[in-house]
Structure 1
Amino acid sequence: MGSYGDRVRQALLDSAEELFAQHGIDAISNRRIAEHAGNSNHSAVNYHFGSRDELIRAMMLRFSEDTHARRQELVAILGPEPGLRDLLSCLIVPFTEQLASMPVPSWRARFLRQMRAVPSMTEAVAATITSDPTVEDLIFRTRALLTECPPSVLSGRSWILGRIVTDSCADYEERLDRIGDEPNWTGFANFLIDAAAGLLSAPVTSEGDFLGARATQTWA
């Protein structure tokens, strides 16, 4: 069950994730997070996390151990010469499985989309993802299969791909909430993997550093 403090922290994390997902990061105060969590202490965020930045950091990391463990499991069963789709599966499936494990409505993907919408948070999102050494290795191996794609084009496509995965998962999450469809995150993951493989391996007809520094904030 955990201690009382652990339960309060969990309630604040859940409250913040829902409110941020619905209204955006900057639109929600710490006081509103506490009230939505049913906490009469309006300073609860600072008391339990130290600051708003630490709350957001905890939100970003709250499922990282589970996704890291699942990603290692998938990497362990890769064949000796995995293809592009195999490597992309290891990157995408742990995230979609995480979303599949959550009750409906869940807010995780929509929260991450809101995080990407705040320029000051973009680097924090990218850093959280790429801090996993397994992810770094998968990115390296993925790039090794795409040597015919110029580095600037590959970086740009990878940046686009990161947004596609986040935004598509957020849209699907919202659809499940709004319409009440039976979730099929496995099928949706395969849909994303197909799209990702097509994007990264597509022919290059125009080479250039079109996205500049933005393309360095990438997950693949």
Structure 2
Amino acid sequence: MTAAPSSPARGGTRDELKRAARRLFAERGIAAVGMREVVETAGQRNAAAVHYYFGTKDDLLRELLIDGADLIDARRRALFDAAEAAGEPDLRAVVEANVMPCIDLGGDTGEGETYFRFIVNVQNERRALFSATVPEHSPGYARYLAHVHRLLAPLPAATVNQRLLFAGLALQTLVAAREAALDRSDTGDHHFWSRPEALTGIVDAVEAILTSPAG
């Protein structure tokens, strides 16, 4: 009788499929990538492997979204815990607690290589799926929103919400650009994006959007 594959083998195949899928979605978009291509890119021979491990394409997208969201938000909550332990954090500390968890994600299936380009494409092509999946895995982000509203309380709530939207879009774009540059590098280093000043600049940019003079 043929022995069933061990758990490590199943886990390895699953992880290879996730890594391959995220990269394809990040580089080419969501609609342009078929599940057979994911299987081939992952080096698997069973054409039904994605269906076996994940179910539908939407199920795979949800799992990839959750993997990165959980990774980011665990770091974000830890930073907010530390900042709030000393009292009510100022805006700089709040922005840093939101931005820095997005940098150098790592991750067991290479989230740090492609996650932000992937979520940009999901939001562009599958906004409803993103909105139905990520918020419940982002309680740390909800703390960020609450702190910003507290700190910008003199402004109308609609103005604060607009700035939060613009700041979020700017952060995603900047981190995705950094991610792409590092991903293209053979050494994982980049003459601009690897410098501490670049990370400080991202925080500066997000903070500037939130605190710009009212028009």
TM-score, normalization by structure 2: 0.83
Question: Which of the residues 177, 180, 190 maps onto 1:181?
Answer: 190
State, as a whole percentage, how many aligned pairs show the same letter: 25
Name structure 2 gaps, 5 residues minimum: 1-5
- Call closer, same or farther: CA 1:65–1:24 in 2, change over 3 Å: closer
Report the Cα offset of residue 185 of structure 1. 7.1
Question: Which of the residues 39, 42, 45 maps onto 2:47?
Answer: 42
Equivalent pair of 1:71/1:90 in contact (CA under 8 Å): yes
Match of 1:3 in 2: 8
Map 1:51-200 → 2, pairs under 5 A = 51-78=56-83, 79-98=86-105, 106-118=113-125, 121-131=126-136, 132-178=138-184, 181=190, 184=194, 187-200=197-210
Report the Cα offset of residue 50 of structure 1. 1.1
Across the aligned residues of Structure 1 and Structure 2, the Cα RMSD in angstroms comes to 2.6
Q: Deviations over 1:59-84 (max 9, x none)?
A: 01113443333222211221313111
Q: Which residue identity does 1:77 align to in structure 2?
A: A
CA distance in structure 1 between the partners assigned to 2:134 and 2:97 by the alignment: 13
- Call closer, same or farther: CA 1:71–1:198 in 2, change over 3 Å: same
Q: Which residue identity does 1:19 align to in structure 2?
A: L
CA distance in structure 1 between the partners assigned to 2:142 and 2:112 by the alignment: 31
Equivalent pair of 1:104/1:176 in contact (CA under 8 Å): no
Equivalent pair of 1:129/1:135 in contact (CA under 8 Å): no
Matched residues, number = 203
CA distance in structure 2 between the partners assigned to 1:186 and 1:123 by the alignment: 35
CA distance in structure 1 between the partners assigned to 2:166 and 2:143 by the alignment: 20
Report the Cα offset of residue 86 of structure 1. 0.6
Equivalent pair of 1:70/1:94 in contact (CA under 8 Å): yes
Name structure 1 gaps, 5 residues minimum: 206-220
CA distance in structure 2 between the partners assigned to 1:126 and 1:85 by the alignment: 27
TM-score, normalization by structure 1: 0.81
